[in-house]
Structure 1
Amino acid sequence: MAATSPAAHFREGTTAARRVRRSGPVLHARLCALLTAGSCALHLWLAASGVHGLWAGVLMLALAAVCLPCTVHLWRHAGVAALHRVSGAALVMVALHAAMLFKAGGAGHAHGGAPPSYAAGQSEHAWLLLVMAAELATALLAATLVARLRRQQPEPA
């Protein structure tokens, strides 16, 4: 068969899926993309549910819109620029959720006739910590994938 036929390309491993597998760490990139996609889906669900109010819902829609193109790019190509954007966005999300955690930290402290603790706030704190852990894991995965991709590139002579 000629080298230009589709069957020859398939046997030689020139399909898009095989090129991706041969060009770098696919599982690492896909795991990072899945975490980012999960974050996008969670932001979309929270925005649609309206739990956090209108302004937070609009902000979550904007965050999902910003993260979605990078998720697709990570799934297909695992480019360093997309990884930098994902790790940067994840670290910004950690800082934002940490600020929310510190702001909510005073919810359990009360004076006067109010109860000394706020049980619902403890559950909210746990969720914020869980979100921060997931975002830190995303940033760590993206940073280690950047390191792996740079290590695989040949040194310039």
Structure 2
Amino acid sequence: MKFLLPFFMLFLIGCNASHVALPTQTSTPNSNLATPTTKNSENSAVSTASTITPKLPTTAPSTKPSSVTAKTPTATELRMQITAPADESIVSTAKVQIVGQTLPNAVVSVNGDLVNLDPVGKFQYAITLDEGANIIEIVASDFNGNEQDKILRVIYEP
């Protein structure tokens, strides 16, 4: 070790000292970067690197988060009202209008056929009756799986 140190010092003096980094008490070694140096009056290499302090991002003042409450939609009970024809009515024409109302977002069928609703849930659907007693099934359902049905008995006597 005693022989290597003088050789190292000779090597430093003979080299261009501006490309050689020497560790000092205040510097931290970085294996990827050379520290600039100059020679002092004794012809010894002296580190001239300045300490660079990076600017760290400042944190914003802490604010208390506002509470957010999600409103759960209340389930509206599925209801359906049939206004025509009346149950067990006797009619003299083969064509009958089924008229009723339910929720606007419900699905309605009459004897298995889908019926269009207006924006407020009203519907009207024409069916042709057979002579004698007829069974008419009206079903309303919603997207929550609720269902309501009405059975009408209408007699057609020409």
Specify which structure has the higher proportion of helix: 1
TM-score by length of 1: 0.21
Specify which structure has the higher proportion of strand: 2
TM-score by length of 2: 0.21
Larger gyration radius, structure 1 or structure 2: 2
